[in-house]
Amino acid sequence: MTRHKGTALLYLSQSFASQLFFWMVFTVNLLYYVQVVEMNALQLVLVGTVLEITVLICEIPTGLIADYKGRKFSIVLGYSLIGLGFFIEGLFPTFTTILIAQVIWGIGYTCISGALQAWITDEVGLNKVDKVFINSTKYENVGNLFGILLGIVIGYISVQVSILIGAIGFLFLALYLWRNMTETRVINEKKKDSLSFIENIKSMLSSVFSSFKANIILRYVLLIACIVGIYSEGFDRLWISHIADIIEGTLSEKHMIFVVGGVQFVTSIFTIIVFQFLNRMSEKIQFKSLYKGLRLSYFILILALICFAFSTNLIGLICFFIIIQVIREVTSTFENIWFNQLITDSSKRATFFSVKGQVDAIGQIGGGPVAGLISQYTSIKIGLAASALLLSPVLFIYQKLLKTRD
């Protein structure tokens, strides 16, 4: 029990620290792209597309490595690469070097994607991990608050310095986890067999894909991940430019950091409040109730996305942005809990999550350029509205899920 609590606390501490450093970067990086590097709408989306292509290529290989070599190894390597990528991004403010940085930190992201969920599930047990995931979202959002505040303060002086400090933070986080993480799971139980590394990997991958083929619910999870990826890339890359267009002339570029950071700060506070309430619901999650809740959440999300796209005043934009981001946190967390419960073979858990991440990347690669091109040749608000419409098929999927048996 004590060991489980210590492991959960380590997981929650990395949730806090990783989001602290992420948001020191993310609070300012789009402003960095727009104001310092002077990217246009299409370039902004292309940066995201390069990142998602990297995720697409590396997600499954790094997931297999995490299951075969060890989750601790994969997580430490991942945070090291994320730190290196952000350091290059902050040090060299050119479009080309930023594309290179996306490749490096994208590989790092795929190393931790799935490996973190698989590690904590094996360490504390499937019956206890749901509450850890929900608490993790709260810790992440507290990290967001501090990261946003630091990003605003440091970014007001220099957006580059904020990115560089966040990058160095990730390198220290990797060192901290290397020294303190334990992994009690038997790493690669198949090592005692005569199978080669390649044969083990092939066997593991074949087993995972067979599971998806045999289980229609798992296939629905992948389809939802793809649709979410299709809509999300356009929104994530264009929302700041949309706000900048609406308030153009009323604020200087220097003061945009307060708007961008402030709205993200308030969003994190609301998210913490919402998850404090949802934490009470984590003991026993019934799939039918989960499907109904997620379907309603996505319906509200689509409406909020459309309203955000066509709002013409700052207050309206901020309100709809908060609704959008809080709902995204809710849907992401509970879909991960749902997916985790569907995985029956713990030894391949990281690979399952990597397949899901790869499908999400495919969606982002397809949807991002579409939103970028629409925005480039019409307007950003039309591009954002198109992203909202691309999300709508997810409502029909949850309707079909309600007709399936648990």
Number of helical H runs and strand E runs in the chain: 15, 0
67 phi and psi angles, rounded to 5 deg: -75, -30
* Interatomic CA distance for residues 331 and 319, integer angstroms: 19
pLDDT given at position 194: 46
Does residue 87 lie within any of the structural domains? yes
Please give the biggest Cα pair distance in the chain: 69
Mean pLDDT along residues 53-76: 78
Q: What DSSP string describes 335-375?
A: HHHHHHHH---GGGHHHHHHHHHHHHHHHHHHHHHHHHHHH
How many residues in total does the chain contain?
A: 406
End-to-end CA distance of the chain: 31
Kindly report each contact of residues 127-131 with a partner whose C-beta sits within 8 Å and lies 24 or more positions away, as own/partner: 128/4, 129/340, 130/282, 130/285, 130/337, 130/340, 130/341, 131/279, 131/282, 131/283
pLDDT of residue 188: 47
Q: Is residue 270 in a domain?
A: yes
What is the SS3 assignment for 248?
A: strand
Task: Say which amino acid occupies 25.
Answer: V
pLDDT value at residue 359? 86
Domain assignment of residue 264, yes or no: yes
Tokens representing residue 234 in the block? 């356009």
Mean pLDDT value across the chain: 83
Does residue 204 lie in a domain region? no
Range from 4-8, 313-317, 346-350, 383-387 carrying the lowest mean pLDDT: 346-350
Residues with Cβ within 8 Å of 107's Cβ and at least 6 positions away in sequence, in order, are: 54, 58, 62, 81
**Lowest mean per-residue pLDDT among 257-261, 283-287, 340-344:** 283-287
The per-residue pLDDT for 191 is 47
Q: Identify the burial level of 82 via C-beta atoms within 10 angstroms of its C-beta, where 0-12 means exposed, 13-18 middle and 19 or more buried.
A: buried
Average pLDDT over residues 82-111: 93
Question: pLDDT at residue 261 above 50?
Answer: yes
One-letter amino acid identity for 307? Answer: C
What is the band of 250 on the pLDDT scale with cuts at 50, 70, 90?
Answer: low
Q: Is 136 within the bounds of a domain?
A: yes
pLDDT tens profile 219-240: 998 999 999 998 888 888 788 7
Instruction: Please count the structural domains in the chain.
Output: 1
**Average pLDDT rounded to a whole number, residues 390-405:** 88
Specify the pLDDT at position 294: 92
What CATH code is carried by the domain that includes residue 280? 1.20.1250.20
Q: How confident is the model at residue 297 (pLDDT cuts 50, 70, 90)?
A: very high
**Of the ranges 158-172, 176-190, 320-334, 385-399, which one carries the lowest mean pLDDT score?**
176-190
- Residue 206 is assigned to a structural domain of this protein: no
Q: Could you identify the residue written with the tokens 């939103």?
A: 371
Instruction: Read off the pLDDT band of 152 (50, 70, 90).
Output: confident
pLDDT at 198 (0 to 100) = 61
The stretch 332-356 carries a mean pLDDT of 80
Domain membership of residue 108 as a residue range: 2-182+213-402
Does residue 199 form part of some domain?
Answer: no
Joined tokens for residue 359: 């499908």
Is 200 inside any structural domain? no
pTM over the 0.85 mark? no
| pLDDT at residue number 320 | 94
What percent of the chain shows pLDDT beyond 70? 87
Rounded to whole angstroms, how far apart are CA atoms 319 and 14? 30
pLDDT for res 406: 55
Place 337 in a pLDDT band, splitting at 50, 70 and 90: confident
HSE-CB at 198 with a 13 A cutoff on CA atoms is 0
Answer yes or no: is pLDDT of 190 > 50.
Answer: no
CB 117 within 8 A of CB 336: yes
Predicted pLDDT of residue 6: 80
* Of the candidates 99, 51, 109, the residue with the CA atom closest to the CA atom of residue 364: 51
Q: Could you tell me which residue, 357 or 18, shows the higher pLDDT?
A: 18
Q: Is the per-residue pLDDT at 1 higher than 60?
A: no
Q: Would you say residue 161 has pLDDT above 90?
A: yes
pLDDT band at 204 (very low <50, low <70, confident <90, very high): low
In angstroms, how far is CA 282 from the centroid of its own chain? Answer: 21
Half-sphere exposure of 397 (CA within 13 A, CB side): 19
Res 192: pLDDT: 45
Distances in whole angstroms, Cα of residue 226 to Cα of each of 52, 55, 319, 335: 12, 13, 27, 13
> Would you put residue 251 in left (φ > 0), alpha (ψ -120 to 50) or beta?
beta
